[in-house]
Copies of this chain bind each other. A is one copy, B any other.
């Protein structure tokens, strides 16, 4: 299973070989994007659904005066909103953080998947609901947590998400972000990001160098940041389909 989307969906349910094949076939249209290149730009007409296969990408919005806020990260296996093509124009941009491979899934293929495969459909909807839940948690993050908690929380989340697609190495994962980008994510200045990083290092909670994050004390980091992974809805046993509603969509 080298398709990271399949790897991720496996956190929610078990897919049949046929379903896995459909996913693989639908994600053949692949393009490589350079670091800092936009995958989609604000104002673009919305096309197919994008799937990050390799690399690291982000969603961001820019205010008229240039302030930029990163509102989401994509790790391999993440889809952008399943239904974007319903809207006419993008109200934000998606950019590759490092060199990345992105597949474009056509609306037709989305329909093919969701028409014929109820289990797969449930799994895809699960992934979009998780994405929304992450967005809400980010609002909590910038709204209620202070700089140290915020950064700790982000690091916990990213480790969990890399784990979910098997791209962690123990408590380490790739994190190819500059301090400016971290600042734009957390709603802080880059100077304060630096201070905060130093504090996390001083407390021997993490190391971050050469684009690799290592969480030395995961439990302490979770406690410090009030990190509760429920919002990622990753617990397999807790996410099994309930009832027996038939799903044609």
Whether A20 is near chain B, meaning CB under 8 Å from some CB there, is: no
Chain B residues near A87 (CB-CB < 8 A)? 126, 129, 233, 239
Q: State whether A91 and B231 are in contact (beta carbons under 8 Å apart), knowing that A132-B132, A142-B143 are contacts in the complex.
A: yes
Query: Chain A interface residue count: which class?
Result: 35 or more
B248–A136 CB distance below 8 A: no
A91–B233 CB distance below 8 A: yes
Copies of this chain, complex-wide, total 2
A136–B71 CB distance below 8 A: yes
A131 to chain B, nearest CB (A): 8
Q: Tell me the bound Cα distance from A6 to B19 in angstroms.
A: 36
| Bitwise interface map of A from 107 to 147 toward B, beta carbon under 8 Å scored 1, else 0 | 11001001100000110011011011101111110111100
Q: Tell me the bound Cα distance from A140 to B184 in angstroms.
A: 10
A137–B61 CB distance below 8 A: yes
A162 to chain B, nearest CB (A): 20
A226–B64 CB distance below 8 A: yes
| Set B92, B245, B247: member contacting A136, Cβ < 8 A | B92
Q: Tell me the bound Cα distance from A91 to B230 in angstroms.
A: 6
B245–A108 CB distance below 8 A: yes
Q: State whether A143 and B69 are in contact (beta carbons under 8 Å apart), knowing that A59-B136, A126-B86, A247-B111 are contacts in the complex.
A: yes
Whether A182 is near chain B, meaning CB under 8 Å from some CB there, is: no
| Bitwise interface map of A from 206 to 249 toward B, beta carbon under 8 Å scored 1, else 0 | 00000000000000000000101011010000111111011111
Whether A88 is near chain B, meaning CB under 8 Å from some CB there, is: yes
Whether A83 is near chain B, meaning CB under 8 Å from some CB there, is: yes
Q: Tell me the bound Cα distance from A131 to B139 in angstroms.
A: 14
Q: Give the B-binding residues of A (Cβ under 8 A).
A: 59, 61, 63-65, 67-69, 71-72, 81, 83-89, 91-92, 107-108, 111, 114-115, 121-122, 125-126, 128-129, 131-133, 135-140, 142-145, 184, 186-187, 226, 228, 230-231, 233, 238-243, 245-249
- Interchain Cβ contacts under 8 Å between A and B, 9 examples: A87-B233, A87-B239, A91-B231, A92-B231, A108-B245, A111-B247, A115-B248, A139-B142, A144-B187
